[in-house]
Amino acid sequence: MKFLDQAKIYVRSGDGGDGVIAFRREKYIEFGGPDGGNGGRGGDIIFRAVPALNTLIDFRYTQHFRARKGGNGAGSDRTGAAASNVIIDVPVGTQIFDEHRDVMLADLDEAGKEILLCHGGDGGKGNAHYKTSTNRAPRRADKGWPGEERWVWLRLKLIADIGLVGLPNAGKSTLLSVASRARPKIADYPFTTLHPQLGVVRLNSTEEFVIADIPGLIEGASEGAGLGDRFLGHVERCASLVHLIDGTESQIVKHWRLIRKELEAYDQNLASKPEIIVLNKCDALTSEQKSSKKRALMKASGSEVITLSGATQEGLPELLRLLQDRVNLAKKQL
């Protein structure tokens, strides 16, 4: 399935049904009178978050959604039928913006959450509604009220507890593959990850968390270099960030600072999230090299640094335990 995290669609609720002018005329019945019924209500446009979806690709092929008009009224005081609502299913984590992407209209961040975006028009009144003691035979009926229409932008921000960030080929996809059942593409060239990947990490029968891998960042990503920083939105909801650094590189401190710069340029709130620095690919380092590079990162960042080998899984159980503890703490604070 292809991944799409932004889409522009058109939605329109249904018009209300028309009221009618009708009079009761029956043989051998002395008193007649107006009996035109009201129109039915038009259908609403409702967005609903469902857990079975993880991409907006369906909206590339279907971009217009219209609810039906309510039924017209009829004689014998019969009200027109209300039109069915149109329910648009979107992935959990979808945000709805106005046409100019200035105002967020809804944030569907929980499964089953719904938002009524466009109200259907009310039905028009039939002439029976206007009967009074002084106006016994009104010849007035109203048209149904029009529905609402608008263009909206959908933006998906994946729901994950932990986000993986780092330069291309830092080993993020390898970590995701060994920590969960996700099977991302892994290769020895940059940008093998072209769109975000999710994996569920289960430590035991009662503890689990969701980890997200996004395409690697490079210098100038905030200005559009490489794949840019547009996928950083998918880790905005995470409790913690795991910053993976390739231990086989010579300028690991420079690389750490580069990613930190790009995070800060994107969003200060994202940059301020708790960060776990992981020195990866330690199976290719000697003990002296590993200790030296770990000390350099600790000095530059002022934080603890965890060593890891995604290939041999050395240090993996300890890292996953730490991540689960971070997730548990974040949930308690909600």
| Ligand-binding site membership of 133 (annotated) | no
Is residue 62 a known part of a binding site? no
250 annotated ligand-binding residue = no
- The annotation status of 328 as a binding-site residue, yes or no, is no
**191 has binding-site annotation:** yes
To the question of whether residue 196 is assigned a binding role by annotation, the answer is no
167 marked as binding residue: yes
CA distance 317 to 332: 23
128 is in an annotated binding site: no
52 is in an annotated binding site: no
323 labelled binding-site residue:
no
Nearest of 279, 322, 4 to residue 166 by alpha carbon: 279
- Residue 226 CA to residue 52 CA, distance in Å, equals 31
173 marked ligand binding residue: yes
Instruction: Flag whether 283 is marked binding.
Output: yes
105 annotated to a ligand binding site: no
Beta-ladder partners of 174 = none
Would the annotation count 243 as a binding residue? no
Q: Which residues contact 294 (CB under 8 A, 6 or more apart)?
A: 279, 305, 307
Residue 193 assigned to a binding site: yes
The answer on whether 132 is annotated among ligand-binding residues is no
170 is annotated as contributing to ligand binding: yes
Given a contact cutoff of 8 angstroms between Cβ atoms, the answer to whether 73 and 37 are in contact is: yes
Q: Is position 116 annotated in a ligand binding site?
A: no
Q: Is 192 annotated as a binding residue?
A: yes
Whether the Cβ atoms of residue 243 and residue 275 lie closer than 8 Å to each other: yes
Nearest to 20 by CA among 76, 93, 101, 84: 76
300 carries a ligand binding annotation:
no
Q: How far apart are CA 42 and CA 82, in angstroms?
A: 6
Under 8 Å between Cβ of 17 and 123: yes
**Has 112 been labeled as part of a binding site?**
no
32 known ligand binder: no
Q: Is 166 annotated as a binding residue?
A: yes
**209 annotated as a binding-site residue:** no
Give the residue ranges of the annotated binding site: 166-173, 191-195, 213-216, 280-283, 309-311
The binding site for GTP comprises 166-173, 191-195, 213-216, 280-283, 309-311
Binding residue ranges for Mg(2+): 173, 193
